[in-house]
Amino acid sequence: MIDLHTHCFFSDGELVPAEHVRRVEVLGYEAIAITDHADSSNIDFILPRIIKAATDMNRYSITRLLAGVELTHVPLELMDELTRYARKLGAEIVVAHGETVVEPVRPGTNRAALKAGVDLLAHPGLITVEDARLAAEKGIMLELSGRKGHSLTNGHVAKMAEKCGAKLAVNADAHGPGDFLTPDMARIVALGAGLTLERYEQIRRDMADFVGAICR
C-alpha cells in the first residue's frame, strides 16, 4: 500500500507524524506522504518540520515517509510560485487541493495547479477534458479519493483520466486513525469509480514508480 495524500496535526490532522507512520506501518504500507494544508502563510513552517519527521522516521520505520504539502485554496496567481517554493524547501511531493464539489474552491485552480507542475491534483471534482489532457501531458496524477464528499466525483475523474490517458492515484486523504485505507478499501475505491482490477494494478505500479524515483 502507498498513499500520497494524508494530513497530520501540522494542519487539520489528528496525529503526530510518528504515530501517523506507525498506524500505517502495522497495516503493511510501503510508503505514505504527509501533505499538510499550506498556503503562503505557513508553508515555511510546516514543511521543514515534516522533513525533520521524515528524516528521523526513515531511519527506523519500515514504511517510507515522504515529506510534502497540499497547496490549499491559494490564489491562482500564487500556485506556480508556491509550487516552486515548496520544492526549494525540500518537498518530495507537491499536492494541489483541486476543485472538489464540496468546497468553494476557486474555478481555475485545477488548471493553475497543472500548469505549475504539481505532482498530484487531489480530488479534482468535475475536471474538464482539457485539464485531464494537460495532466496526461505533464504526467501529473489525478486523485481518486477515499474521503467522504471528495469521493462523489471519482467516477467522473476516472472517466476523464481514461479518456485522456492521465495517471491516477488512489489516496485516503486521511486526517485521523480511522481514515487510512486498507488494501481492500483502496481496491473498492478504484472499482467503485468504474475501473477494472487490471487498471487498479497499473495505478499501484504508477504510485510505486513515483515513490521509487524519489527514493533513488
Residue range 153-200, pLDDT digits in tens: 999 999 999 999 999 999 999 999 999 999 999 999 999 999 999 999
pLDDT value at 26 more than 90: yes
Residue 74: how many other CB atoms lie within 10 Å: 23
Give the confidence band of 31 by pLDDT, cuts at 50, 70, 90: very high
Take residue 102 and report the three cell numbers written for it. Answer: 464540496
Range(s) of the domain holding residue 22: 2-215
Tell me, what CATH number does 189's domain have?
Answer: 3.20.20.140
Q: Cα–Cα distance between 91 and 93 in angstroms, integer?
A: 5
Residue 55 has a pLDDT of 96
Q: What is the pLDDT averaged over residues 50-57? A: 97
Candidates 78, 106, 79, 107; CA nearest to 95 is 79
pLDDT at 59 over 80: yes
What pLDDT score was predicted for residue 70? 98
Model pLDDT, residue 27: 95
Q: What tens digit of pLDDT does each residue of 69-128 get?
A: 999 999 999 999 999 999 999 999 999 999 999 999 999 999 999 999 999 999 999 999
Q: What is the dihedral of CA 13, 18, 21, 24, to 10 degrees?
A: -80
pLDDT score recorded for residue 216:
76
How many domains would you assign to the chain? Answer: 1
Query: Is 90 exceeded by the pLDDT of residue 4?
Result: yes
Q: What is the pLDDT of residue 82?
A: 98
Q: Considering the entire predicted model, what is its pTM?
A: 0.98
Q: What angle do CA 122, 125, 129 make, to 5 degrees?
A: 100
- Bin 174: left if φ > 0, else alpha if -120 < ψ < 50, else beta: beta
* The pLDDT of residue 215: 84
Q: Which residues pair with 68 in a beta bridge?
A: 35, 93
pLDDT, position 44: 98
**Model pLDDT for residues 34-50, shown as the tens digit of each residue:** 999 999 999 999 999 99
Q: Can you give the pLDDT at residue 46? A: 97
